[in-house]
Amino acid sequence: MNHISVSDAKGIMGKNMIGPEEIDKLTDMKLLLGELLPEIQYSRDELEKKKEDYILILGIGSFNDGSPVTIRNMKKIVGMNPELSEPCFYNQDWYNKEDFIDIPMRDGWFLIRKEIYEESRAIQPLELKEKYNFPSAISCTYAFFMAWYILGIKLWYHDFVWCSDTDHNGDRIYVGKYHDVDGVNKNGFSIHRHLALRPCYGCID
């Protein structure tokens, strides 16, 4: 496959692209751009098909100080208090000992969908996995904050997105829903797990 150049990809994706130029200007979260850029692995045809509904993003694996771009480290930078600054993470700590928050972002380009598929709403993740490839939690988290900072887009503002990661019990991770439409919870990028039914669940009367 002939690889497409960054400039040609920009010509196709337009505003739906976060590349080295955009990342280099980022002040809220300084990332370490290498001298050699990864090749864009997508074909021109694929980008043409997805240019309206997806964002093409350059993933960077390290911050300027050399620390890895992980959910844990991003959380340290942006915090959890929307009254101090936004965007931020939702104030929760259940996942602090989970492995998936220390998985680093990979260097390379990826496409991520801006809105969830309407036909996927309220469907069990096991059923959805037969048709869709779930993105990783770090990819979704990275995409959310990059899109907010650079493009001014608030991805999955009222929706949750299933991820490929699971917790130590094998429960599926889902992220997103920055804003609670009912106004009960404070703003923040949320990370949750879908609890599977196990023998320890039951009822009483």
| pTM to 2 decimal places | 0.94
Q: What is the pLDDT of residues 79-124, one digit of tens each?
A: 999 999 999 999 999 999 999 999 999 999 999 999 999 999 999 9
3/170: higher pLDDT: 170
Average pLDDT over residues 5-9: 96
Residue in 91, 22, 13 with CA at minimum distance from that of residue 59: 22
Return the higher-pLDDT residue of 180 and 73.
73
Listed in sequence order, the residues at least 6 apart from 203 whose beta carbon sits closer than 8 Å to its beta carbon are: none
1 pLDDT exceeds 80? no
For residue 78, the number of C-alpha atoms closer than 13 Å in the C-beta half-sphere is 27
Q: Are 71 and 141 in contact (CB under 8 A)?
A: yes
- Say how far apart CA 99 and CA 179 lie, in whole Å: 26
Quick: pLDDT tens for 31-89. 999 888 999 999 999 999 999 999 999 999 999 999 999 999 999 999 999 999 999 99
CA dihedral (19, 24, 27, 28) in degrees, to 10, reads 40
